[in-house]
Every structure is written in structure tokens, then in C-alpha cells.
């Protein structure tokens, strides 16, 4: 078929004129008594449910990362007995008190504590990593060799 023989496009059928689908779907609130979808608890939980999920995460990690995350958790609770444990962002332990204080994530080489307002904290020992995301958050990367330092900090 040659160009001159091609069928002309009907008016209003170009891509630009078609209505776009919304990137986000608006969800209406669940009806009273409705059951949550499976796995919904794992997306966001507070209190005892979050503590249970964090316990499970620590157990699942095993080794130095489990030991480190458990010890950091103990230190956080010792420093602020009123801190709340939460489970957010599909599997991130969060500690909050009148807002997010820090998150605790375990990676292959580090256990990372990210402080929501870390950039505003003094750091005389140089514990925080040097990156400042948006001049707000900063993190402490705890590596396996630093794990023994945490154990020695116990009373």
C-alpha cells in the first residue's frame, strides 16, 4: 500500500486527544466490618502487631545482622521507653515518638539506621554517613566489624 492509498485518520483519534488513564486510582475507605486484604498488615502496622513483625524480621535475618538489629532496638527502647514501633513501607521497622525518629533496615553488608532529622543532630564521633538527602535525613551504617562495639556498650 502506498502513502496515497492509505486510509485517512478519522478526526479525534490521535493519541493526544484520547483521555489519559489516571496513574493513581482513588480508593474509597473500606466499609465497616470489611476484612483487610491478605498482606495488608505487613504494609503498615503499629503497636503489638508491628513489634511482632519486627521480631519476625530479626529472626529471619539470623547472624550478625539479626544480633545488630536486636541490639539497636534494645538501645532505642532504653533511650526512650515511650517510643512506638511501627512497620511501614512494606516491611521497614520504624521507631517514632511524635513523628518518625528512625528506621532500621538490614542489607547484605550493613544494618542501616536512618534518622528522619539526622542532619539536625550533632555528630561529634562521626557516626553518620556523609550523605545528606534533602539536608534532612542521615544514616548510621553498622557493619559486621562494628557489631562487637554494640555488644560492649551493654550495661
Q: Work out the mean pLDDT of the chain and round it to a whole number.
A: 76
List pLDDT tens digits, range 40-74: 445 678 888 899 999 999 999 999 999 999 999 99
State yes or no: pLDDT of 35 exceeds 50. Answer: no
The DSSP code sequence of the chain is --GGGSPPPPTT-SGGGSPPPPSS---PPPPTTPPPPTTHHHHSEEHHHHHHHHHHHHHHH-HHHHHHHHHHHHHHHHH-TT-EEEEETTTEEEEESSSEEEEEEE-SSEEEEEETTGGGS--TT--S-S--BTTTBEEEEEEGGGHHHHHHT--
Considering only 33-37, 68-72, 110-114, which range has the smallest mean pLDDT? 33-37
Amino acid at each position: 500500500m502506498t502513502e496515497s492509498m492509505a486510509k485517512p485518520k478519522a478526526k479525534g483519534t490521535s493519541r493526544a486527544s484520547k483521555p489519559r488513564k489516571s496513574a493513581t486510582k482513588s480508593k474509597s475507605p473500606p466499609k465497616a466490618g470489611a476484612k483487610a486484604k491478605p498482606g495488608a498488615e505487613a504494609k503498615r502496622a503499629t503497636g503489638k502487631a508491628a513489634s511482632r513483625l519486627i521480631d519476625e524480621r530479626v529472626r529471619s535475618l539470623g547472624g550478625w545482622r539479626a544480633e545488630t538489629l536486636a541490639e539497636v532496638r534494645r538501645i532505642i527502647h532504653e533511650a526512650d521507653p515511650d517510643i512506638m514501633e511501627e512497620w511501614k513501607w512494606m516491611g521497614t521497622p520504624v521507631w517514632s515518638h511524635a513523628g518518625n525518629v528512625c528506621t532500621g533496615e538490614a542489607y547484605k553488608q550493613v544494618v542501616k539506621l536512618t534518622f528522619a532529622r539526622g542532619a539536625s543532630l550533632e555528630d561529634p564521633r562521626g557516626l553518620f554517613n556523609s550523605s545528606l538527602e534533602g539536608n534532612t535525613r542521615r544514616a548510621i551504617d553498622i557493619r559486621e566489624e562494628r557489631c562487637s562495639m554494640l555488644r560492649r556498650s551493654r550495661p
